[in-house]
Structure 1
C-alpha cells in the first residue's frame, strides 16, 4: 500500500505517452474532479465543516474569468489569481457571517446551499452574466490565451493545480494551523477551551477552500469555453465535490484522487449500460448512501489484513 502514490503518479503520466484522445480526456476529467474534491476536502475534510453549496466558489471562479475576458479583455492568466482571490473573499464573507452567528453542522450546510442558489438566481438575472444563455468564450487556442489545441496541455495544467492543492492538504496535516483545524473538527467545545479561535480558524479554512475551488472554476471555463448558471452553481457540482472526497477519504491528502478515479469508473460504466437522462443525480444519491452505510471513512480508511509473522503463525498453531 505504501507504493500506491508512486503508482498513481506513473498512471497520471501515462496519457502523455498515449495517442488516444479518449484516454487523455478521461485522465483530464478525473484529475479535474480530484481538484474539485480537494477544494471541498480542505474545509470539510480537515475542518469538519458540512457544505452542500461548494459550487458557489467554483461558479465565482468560472464566471469571474469569463467576464474578465469577454467584457474587459483581461488575459485569463491574470484572471486566475483574481478568481482565486474572489473565491477566498466569498469564503471569508460566508464564514464570518455564518460562524459568528454560531451556525454549524446541518444549519451551516443549509446556508451554503442557499448561498449557491442565490448566486445561481443572480447569474440567471444579471446582464453581465448574460442570464440563462450563459457566456461563450471565444476560441483562440494558444498558451498565452490559456487555451490548448491539444488536450494534453490542459491536462498538464490540471495536474499542476492538483499538485498545488495536494501540497496545501499535506501542509494542513503538518502545520500548526492544520492541527488547530483538526482540533476544531474533532470537538469544537474542547478546542475553544484550549484557546483556539473557532470563528477565525473555520473562516480561514473556508477562504482557503474557496480559493482552491475557484481556480477549478477557471480551469473549467478555459477548457470548455462556456459557463451558464446551472453548470456553475448547480447542486450536481456540489455533490460531485462531496462524493469525490468522501469516496476516497475526507481529511486525507490522496483521498480525493482515489475518489475521483472510482467515481469516474462508476460513471463511465453506468453510462455505457444505462444511457438515461437524469441518471447521474440518481447515481450520485445511491453512491452517497452506500458510502455512509459501508465506507464512512472512505477508501483511504480501509485497512488491509496484516500478514502474520512466522512466530505469530506458530503461536496460532
Structure 2
C-alpha cells in the first residue's frame, strides 16, 4: 500500500521550475572552471542560438506555426540596438529593452497580416521567409542603417553599457536571458494560453469549433516569439558590436532557430537548449577534422545530423524520455 501523494503547490512549483534552476546553476559554474576564451565564446554562441530557438519554439513547437523567416525578428533586434545606441545615444540596457519591444511590435504586425488572411502551414512559412528577405534588402539599401557597410557600435567602457563586460560576464548575461526564456516557456506551458496553443497545433479547426479564439492566440504567440528572438538579435549586436544586413537577416539564423528545437525536442521547454548545446558541441568537435581533410567536418556534421533526425524524430529529449520509459518498464517487470 502506498502513502499519500504530495500534491501541494510548493511541490508542484519545485517540480516545474526546479530543473530549470538546477541547469542554470550548473552552467553558471562554467566560467569558474575555465577561463579559455574559445570555450566561453563557443558557449555564448550556443546560448545565443538557444535563445533564438526558444523564440521559434514558442510559435513553431507549441503552436505548430512553422516559420522559415525568424531572421526578421533577430535582425530587427540587432539593428534596433545598433541604431539606438549609435544614432540616438541610448545606453545599452535601454536600447536592449527598446529592441525587444520593437521586435515584438514587428511580430504582431506580421502576425496580424498573416493570420488575418488565414495563412497557415507552408503558406505562412513562405510569407515569413519573404518578410525576412524584404527586411534584408531594405537594410542593405538604406543609408540610415549603414547600407552594405553595416552598423557599428562604438566601444563604450561606461558602466551603463555592457561592452565593458568580460567574456565570462557576457556568458552569464546570455545564461540569464536563456533562463528567463525557459521560465517564461514553462509558465506558458502550464497556463490556459499554452493549452490553447497546443490545441491549435493539434487541430486548429477543432480548437476553433470548441470556442478558442485562434486568431488572438496565434497573434499573442508570434508576438512573444518575436520578442524572445529579438532579444537574441540584440544580444548578438552587443556581443560583436557590429551588424550588417546579411548577418542580421540572413538565412543562417532562420535555419539555426528552427533546427535546434527540432534536434532537441519540439514543443518542450529544454528542447532548444539541448539542441543548441548538442549541435554546437558537435560542430566544435568536428572542426578538428578540417585541418586534415578540408570539408570532412561539415560532411560528418551533416551525416550525424541526418541520423539524429531519422532515428530520433522527437529530438534528443524525446529519445531520452523513451529510453527512461523503457528502463522504468524493465525495472518494474
- TM > 0.5: yes
Provide the alpha-carbon RMSD of the alignment.
Answer: 2.4
Give 1:30 deviation, angstroms. Answer: 1.6
Give 1:17 deviation, angstroms. Answer: 3.7
Q: Is 2:68 aligned against 1:52?
A: yes
Q: What is the distance in 1 between the residues matched to 2:144 and 2:297?
A: 30
Deviation digits for residues 107-132 of structure 1 (CA, Å, limit 9, x no counterpart): 10000100000000001100111111
| TM-score, normalization by structure 2 | 0.86
Q: What is the distance in 1 between the residues matched to 2:63 and 2:184?
A: 13
**In the superposition, relative to structure 1, how do residues 243 and 211 fare at CA in structure 2: closer, same or farther (>3 Å)?**
same
The 5 A counterparts of 1:3-82 are 6=22, 9-82=25-98
1:301 pairs, out of 318, 321, 324, with: 318
Matching residue of 2:191: 175
Q: What is the distance in 1 between the residues matched to 2:150 and 2:204?
A: 41
Q: Is 2:217 aligned against 1:201?
A: yes
Deviation digits for residues 131-172 of structure 1 (CA, Å, limit 9, x no counterpart): 111011111234411213411111111111111111111011
Matched-pair contact (CA < 8 Å) for 1:84–1:211: yes
Would you identify which runs of 4 or more consecutive aligned residues in structure 1 move more than 3 Å? 2-9, 275-292, 307-311
2:284 pairs, out of 230, 255, 268, with: 268
SS in 2 for 1:214: helix
Q: Is 2:112 aligned against 1:91?
A: no
Matched-pair contact (CA < 8 Å) for 2:62–2:198: yes
Give 1:309 deviation, angstroms. Answer: 6.2
Matching residue of 1:315: none
**In the superposition, relative to structure 1, how do residues 286 and 308 fare at CA in structure 2: closer, same or farther (>3 Å)?**
closer
**In the superposition, relative to structure 1, how do residues 130 and 189 fare at CA in structure 2: closer, same or farther (>3 Å)?**
same
List gaps (5 residues or longer) in structure 2: 1-14
2:178 pairs, out of 151, 162, 172, with: 162
Select between 44-53 and 284-293 the one with higher mean Cα deviation. 284-293
Select between 164-173 and 303-312 the one with higher mean Cα deviation. 303-312
Q: What is the distance in 2 between the residues matched to 1:38 and 1:279?
A: 30
List gaps (5 residues or longer) in structure 1: 313-317
**In the superposition, relative to structure 1, how do residues 176 and 4 fare at CA in structure 2: closer, same or farther (>3 Å)?**
closer
Select between 241-250 and 302-311 the one with higher mean Cα deviation. 302-311
| TM-score, normalization by structure 1 | 0.91
SS in 1 for 2:87: helix
Q: What is the distance in 2 between the residues matched to 1:89 and 1:13?
A: 36
Q: What is the distance in 2 between the residues matched to 1:172 and 1:230?
A: 33
Give 1:295 deviation, angstroms. Answer: 2.2
**In the superposition, relative to structure 1, how do residues 168 and 278 fare at CA in structure 2: closer, same or farther (>3 Å)?**
farther
Matching residue of 2:244: 228
Give 1:288 deviation, angstroms. Answer: 6.1
Q: What is the distance in 1 between the residues matched to 2:173 and 2:225?
A: 19
Aligned length: 311
SS in 1 for 2:269: coil
**In the superposition, relative to structure 1, how do residues 129 and 278 fare at CA in structure 2: closer, same or farther (>3 Å)?**
farther
**In the superposition, relative to structure 1, how do residues 283 and 137 fare at CA in structure 2: closer, same or farther (>3 Å)?**
farther
